[in-house]
Structure 1
Amino acid sequence: MLLQLSAAELGQLIVARPGSAYLPLTERLIHEHVQVKGRAAEQGDIASWDNSIPVVVRALLDCGLDEVEVQVEVDLPHTNSAVDLVLCGRRPGTETDSYLAVELKQVRHATVDPRCPIAVDLGFGDGKNKLHPVRQIQRYCEYMVRYLPHLREGDDRLMGVALLHNARDADVEALFELPESDHGFLYTLDDLERFRRALTSRFTAASGKQAAHALEHARRDPLRKVTDVARQRSVKGGGLTLLDEQYVAFDRITRHLEKAAPATAFDVGLFQDADTAPGPAPEPGPKRVYILRGGPGSGKSAVALELQRSLGLKGREAVLASGSHAYTETLRNIMLGTARQGQASSKRAAANKLYRYFNSFTDTPPDSIDVLICDEAHRLRRSSTHRWMPKELRDDDRPQATELIRAARVPIFLLDDHQSIRPDEVGTADYLKALAEEIGCSVEVTDLEGTFRAGGSKRYQGWVQQLLGLRTSDPVAWRPDGRMTLTVADSPEQMERFIRERALEGATARITAGFCWPWSDPEEGRLVDDVRIEDWSRPWNVKPSHSVPDAPRSDYWSTDARGIGQIGCVYTAQTFEYDWNGVIIGPDLLFRDGTFRVDRAASRDPGFRGEVDDSVVDRCVRNAYHVLLTRGVIGTVVYATDRRTHNELRRLIPGAIGMQHYDGAQPRLTAEGPQLPPDYRRRHR
């Protein structure tokens, strides 16, 4: 949140001063934006503050609601999205806390995309459709209610409106066709009197400070992780609340399916058994391929699961494929866990049909699958040929992506251009788009720009890419943004203790490392402590082909609590997330002369053996650390084995781990502000 003041206090800040380019309120918000978010505000935000907020403030003052508290730019929990305004006060009649979320739009004209009623052109001139303002505020309100229990204490504690204060009804007429609800009403310049009546119906003249304080300091439910969504998606409200461009893409796809063909009798879902049935005739015209591209934590996997859930409830065949063994087996295991007595065999067969691998479509008849959702598509291989494949199916020249596109009536790919981690992984949006168009398909590419990981910190995501050289700009110092905690551990021992303490507090926590140590087979039923750093050593997670007592299978390392006892590699961590993330940067990534350099000789990854070009190894190593550094939901702790690299991290990252006392208890390790590392705490004579 950038600012909170009463309507009366804001009223004094919306009086223009001679010679000033902006209102006093706008100037204050420009300053607060730099202080809170660490970057200058965009021109669109500044224009909204200068032109839109005064409309709401004047409406409150006209209604005698001077003491209603106004919160500006209120962050949605765990994301980088924000509600323009949240008004806080007391409800007439009940005197309970009452809230109104307001999404402000300066548009004067708007048209609805004929292919999708919630995708609209708001006249910004960028050629991009936006989410319908009413649907946008409806989703924001739904998200707030889901993660803020205080808003669930009353049935109608939160209301939402989209205010297009410059637009006439006639100029945005198409927007009114979308149904309104308590979480989303539409008001224009012609409706300002109706908007004032809405304000008086929500608030009394009493002070809203208590309600604002209650909302600001209310408990926030933890973010639902991918596995949580998978487990809960059969129950009411168990799906994901999609926001902004996520919802646009989701709606476009589902509407395309409704028009392409009627629902099939293939009733398959997490809690339904698969039963084959003949599919509908394909839609005339070119096949349409959807590509959803997003960074770590942008909700790609959750969107994939929500698509599958929604389509399954409508009786549509929706198969989810992946190149990740851990991800696929985890989803299969979750579904198997829903089997009633005597159903295990049929449920296992349904799970194996519902969740498949990219290389399992070599002999699938064309268009025999209704919808094929390809998650983790950055892990697509050049071809599906492998050493166990029958000779008659081998085809090294046929792209794996071609098999997937051919197999489905509607293929959907979700990917991150910076997460391919093996030399033969080729999945990028550009690669898939070119391949699909080459075989006659039409392609839609949507960028998922939000983030649900790292506390919703877009800054952290960009900082990691700069650090690893995945952007053109050089590494920069981390500037804390209040969303993501980033600290440096002084030793692997300190990192492990810190991570284990977070787990004892009830958080999920893991340590991962670059692939710079051997990975031994178990000896006499015990894991070998392969990851050795001076006097400290720990084992890797269990190999996929082995099982060890008291340690989870590799597929479940990220989700089984026992995984905290081993060091995870990138192949077991990818796709998943945990609250606290420890990352050991090995000697394969060295900081020299102001940038990271890859030392191929230090890597133990067997995929780099043989004639693999250095540039490919460089890409894979950087992408691997990009994956590892972006698993944390709350915070990340880093340690580098190379002294020069570690000192550079200390220079770039102000956070450190220190000892704190709480109420006289034993001291514990906490993430706190900058401090001197042990080597420099003593004054040298």
Structure 2
Amino acid sequence: MSAAELGQLVVARAESAHLPLTERLIDGHSGVTGRTADQRDVASWNNSIPVVVKALLDCGLDAVEVQVEVDLPHTNSAVDLVLCGQRPVTGTASYLAVELKQVRHASVDPRCPIAVDLGFGNGKNKLHPVRQIQRYCEYMMRYLPHLREDEDQLMGVALLHNARDADVAALFDLPESDHGFLYTLDDLDRFRRVLTSRFAAASGKRAAHALSEARRDPLLKVTDVARQRSITGGGLMLLDEQYVAFDRITRHLEKTAPFTGYDVGLFYDPAGAHDPGRPPDRKRVYILRGGPGSGKSAVALELHRELGLQGREAVLASGSHAYTETLREIMIGTARHGQVSAKRSAARRLYRYFNSFADTPPNSIDVLICDEAHRMRRSSTHRWTPKELRDDDRPQATELLRAAKVPIFLLDDHQSIRPDEVGTAEYLKNLAEDSGCSVEVIDLEGTFRAGGSKRYQNWVQQLLGLNVSDPVVWRPDGRMTLMVADSPDQMEQFIRDRAHEGATARITAGFCWPWSNPDGERLVDDVHIGDWRRPWNVKPQHSVPNAPKSDLWSTDHRGIGQIGCVYTAQTFEYDWNGVIIGRDLLFRDGEFTVDRTASHDPAFRDQVGDAIVKRCIRNAYHVLLTRGVVGTVVYAVDPATHNELRRLIPGTIGLQHYDGDQPKLTAEGAHLPPAYNRRHG
């Protein structure tokens, strides 16, 4: 709405505790998210938005358009307000992103100047409001080409309208920029001058419409970040808790890394560089915990990339064969003529497996980044381990803790998929503390997958019984598209159509069919449902013409011709995600249950207990159902289970005609996200 229209909605009414605008926002929030608005949000809408609206009206900017809770593309983060209008003199589009804070006092964490206590009383530090709006603006510039046409279009401010300068003095130490200025109650006159310098007294409808309808660049995937290893300013744009975690860790490294002979750089500590007598601190261990798409791998790769740019060598370890080999292949692919051998050696040194540290000397690695740490095994002993090195009683995590000066673990408590995978935050924390380490656990609460839909993540956990709630009907939120296919053939056709349009798309399935070796140079069609038959992805130890190696199934365009399993899909993401639910997950007696007899996973031998198998199978489907960036299509082999999915998921696939062309399979009844409609409609 325009400032003038909003002005009529921010007038208090005697019969209501909330402004008319706040009541509209409460209703809108419930309709979009399916949950009641947080009291902090309600208070912000009721108390903070009127400050900005009044400032616009006082400046005669009645026609400036105000957008509220503006989603950042592909995430669940949002800018509180974006003001849209025309620049004075030129009449070009002008935007001001505003982050509103009601705080009256603030203090800065002495260990990390971008982590601040805003007085919420929950003991959790938040990202500095200036850095928060700076990152939001940079993120918008990254994914909205419309804003990159003129870099002066967008400005950002953090407005602490209840705070006096003296009570938040520490916040002013952070450098400001065009994408992030700080204003308080003492600065409201300066804030008004910003408004009049950015906006003319003219309609902002055109600018607002252009921003709302702007094309969104596709989300950078994990492999895209890895390919940008050597690019300054490349990688993913970390936000909120991700950025706090990244900054906290890098600052710790600056203080603890030994003097290298350089006077500048990420790790130089002038206070301790020449003090050999300074006693060493306890080893600090970082555990970053978050759900699918919360940015764990983004933080891991950004840390790895940043250390490389600074001339430091950090090791990135994983328990995933596909992930590790993909990262190695990407690095080897950057080799110039005559450098392949050296690049291959470097790739094997920089990207390693969890079980490769058994004989690593203590503290011989400066920084060890353990991604996918939920795949940590009980021990590193395997069938090829030499007898003299076998130690079934030594935890694998102990080897990693011992090998590094700064160990960093990134994990999801609901993604361990094999019986001997034990990596949870509690397990690693206890083990590290028992080893004399100090531990910091950081929760990553955002999401960069499923269109930034937190509702979808919660829905999947409820469906699989991974929290206390029962399965619920999916309520479309305009972010994630979720549909049921009538048959595997229909799913495949829909997924292939999306790939032909330029999207990344794959089909995965539960491990409910045998996985055969290739028949000569041909894959065996093991996955069969009625007359429909398709092969699994290639086994790790084999290669087949015209099909990618198993490690590259998620990233090689030829992977669409095979059905992926959880071991090749984990860690990766693609725009469109087809999931076939096998007979190991059944709907019976009002709930989803696990039938271990339907599984062909060789990890589930008879000696593995039912509780462990059930946990692994539920977690496997949790992984499979959360790979999609834009949309997910599901099909269940068991009729009763499929009928229950039809009840829980209103979205279906339909056949439509476009301008006399051949009919196409399209999503129906799923409230497609706006970005999908603009790109493919």
Letter aligned with residue 577 of structure 2: N
Q: How is 1:193-592 mapped onto 2 (pairs within 5 angstroms)?
A: 193-262=189-258, 264=260, 284-592=280-588
Tell me the amino acid that sits aligned with residue 394 of structure 1: R
Partner of 2:184: 188
Counterpart contact for 2:482–2:670, Cα < 8 Å: no
Aligned-residue offset at 1:528: 0.3
* Cα deviation 1:552-580 (Å, max 9, x = unaligned): 00000000000000000000000000000
Shift of the alpha carbon at 1:334? 0.3
The residue identity in structure 1 corresponding to 2:184 is T
- Give the aligned residue type for 1:50: N
- Offset of residue 262 of structure 1: 4.1
Q: Give the TM-score normalised by the residue count of structure 2.
A: 0.95
Under a length normalisation based on structure 1, what TM-score does the superposition of the two structures give?
0.95
Contact 2:476 / 2:670 at 8 angstroms: preserved in 1?
A: no
C-alpha distance in structure 2 between counterparts of 1:548 and 1:195, whole Å: 64
Q: Give the secondary-structure state (helix, strand or coil) at the position aligned to 2:112.
A: coil
Structure-1 separation of matches of 2:50 and 2:101: 13
Task: Work out whether residues 419 and 626 of structure 1, in 8 Å CA contact, stay in contact via their aligned partners in 2.
Answer: yes
Which of 651, 669, 673 is matched with 1:673 structurally?
669
Q: Distance in 2 between matches of 1:224 and 1:93?
A: 37
Q: Secondary structure at the match of 2:443?
A: strand
The structural deviation recorded for 1:459 is 0.2
The DSSP-based 3-state class of the residue aligned with 1:657 is strand
Whether the aligned pair in 2 keeps the contact of 1:263 and 1:315 (CA below 8 Å) is no
> What corresponds to 1:87 in structure 2?
83
Distance 2:173 2:349 in 1: 40
Q: Tell me the residue number matched to 2:28.
A: 32
Among candidates 40, 48, 56, match of residue 44 of structure 1: 40
Distance verdict in 2 for CA 1:321–1:263, change over 3 Å = farther
Give the CA deviation at 1:382.
0.1
Q: Match of 1:608, SS?
A: coil
Identity %: 83
- Contact preservation (8 Å) 1:261, 1:281: no
**Match status 1:132 vs 2:128:** yes
Q: Does 1:150 align with 2:165?
A: no
Equivalent position of 1:275 in the other structure: none
Distance 1:32 1:623 in 2: 33
Q: Give the structure 2 partner of residue 622 of structure 1.
A: 618
CA contact (8 A) 1:161 1:187 kept: yes
Unmatched segments (≥5 aa) in structure 2:
263-275, 672-681
Structure 1 residues 263, 7: CA separation in 2 closer, same or farther (over 3 Å shift)?
Answer: farther
Alpha-carbon distance, 1:264 to partner? 4.6
Contact 1:263–1:314, Cα closer than 8 Å, also in 2: no
Between 484-493 and 23-32, report the one with greater CA deviation: 23-32
Task: Tell me how far 1:317 sits from its aligned partner.
Answer: 2.1
Q: 1:551: Cα distance to partner?
A: 0.4
Aligned residue identity for 1:287: K
Indicate conservation of the 8 Å contact 1:265/1:316, yes or no: no
Contact 1:304–1:375 (8 Å) recurs in 2:
yes
Per-residue Cα deviation, 1:3-45 (whole angstroms, up to 9, x for no partner): xx10000111111111211111111111111122222211000
Distance in 2, Cα, partners of 1:408 & 1:200: 54
Contact 1:263 1:316 in 2 (8 A): no
1:432-481 CA-partner distances (Å, limit 9, x unpaired): 00100011100000110000000000000000000000011100000000
8 A Cα contact 1:380 1:425, kept in partner: yes
Instruction: Please show how residues 59-138 of structure 1 align to structure 2 within 5 Å.
Output: 59-138=55-134
Q: Secondary structure at the match of 1:340?
A: coil
SS in 2 for 1:555: helix
User: How far apart are 1:106 and its partner, in Å?
Assistant: 0.2
Q: Shift in Å at residue 525 of structure 1? A: 1.0
Partners of 1:80 and 1:155 in 2: CA distance = 24
Q: CA deviation at 1:74?
A: 0.2
Query: 2:146 & 2:589 partners in 1: Cα distance?
Result: 51
Name the amino acid aligned to 1:372.
L
Which residue, 595, 598, 608 being the options, matches 1:599? 595
Change in CA separation of 1:40 and 1:501 when aligned onto 2, cut-off 3 Å = same
1:664 deviates by 1.4
Aligned partners of 1:674 and 1:450: how far apart in 2? 23
Deviation at 1:263, TM superposition (A): 6.1
Deviation at 1:524, TM superposition (A): 1.9
Q: 1 CA distance for matches of 2:38 and 2:368?
A: 39
Letter in 2 for 1:34: S
Give the Cα separation in 2 of the matches to 1:481 and 1:168. Answer: 39
User: Structure 2: how far apart are the matches of 1:265 and 1:329?
Assistant: 34
- The residue that corresponds to 1:660 in the other structure is 656
Per-residue CA shift, 1:50-79, capped at 9, x if unaligned? 100000000001111000000000000000
Deviations 1:254-313 (A, max 9, x none): 0000000246589xxxxxxxxxxxxx9997121100000010011111110001111111
Q: Secondary structure at the match of 1:321?
A: strand
In structure 2, the CA distance between the partners of 1:549 and 1:263, relative to structure 1 (3 Å rule), is farther
Q: Is contact 1:264–1:316 with CA below 8 Å preserved after alignment?
A: no
Give 1:162's aligned amino acid: A
The SS at the match of 1:146 is helix
Report SS of the residue matched to 1:487: strand
Asked if the contact 2:286–2:441 (Cα under 8 Å) also holds between the matched residues in 1, the reply is yes
Tell me how far apart the structure 2 counterparts of residues 91 and 179 of structure 1 sit (CA, whole Å). 26
Task: Give the drift of 1:389.
Answer: 1.2
Report the CA distance shift for 1:491/1:150 in structure 2 as closer, same or farther (over 3 A). same
Change in 2 beyond 3 A, CA 1:598/1:243: same
Cα offset, 1:155, TM superposition: 2.1
Map Cα deviations across residues 300-347 of structure 1 (whole Å, 9 max, x no partner): 111100011111112222110000000000000000010000000001
Specify the code of the residue in structure 2 equivalent to 1:527.
L
| 2: CA distance, partners of 1:367 / 1:377 | 19
Which whole-Å CA distance do the structure 1 matches of 2:122 and 2:362 have between them? Answer: 38
| Amino acid of the structure 2 residue aligned with 1:21 | A
Q: Is the 8 A contact 2:450 2:631 kept in 1?
A: yes
Work out the CA distance in 1 between the residues paired with 2:508 and 2:312: 38
Letter in 2 for 1:38: G
The question of whether the paired residues in 2 share the 8 Å contact of 1:522 and 1:528 is answered with yes
DSSP-derived class of the 2:603 partner:
helix
Q: 1:265 to 1:559 in 2, by over 3 A?
A: farther
Give the letter aligned to residue 216 of structure 1. S
C-alpha distance after superposition, 1:324-376 (max 9, x if no partner): 00000000000001000000000100000000000000000000000000000
Match of 1:679 in 2: none
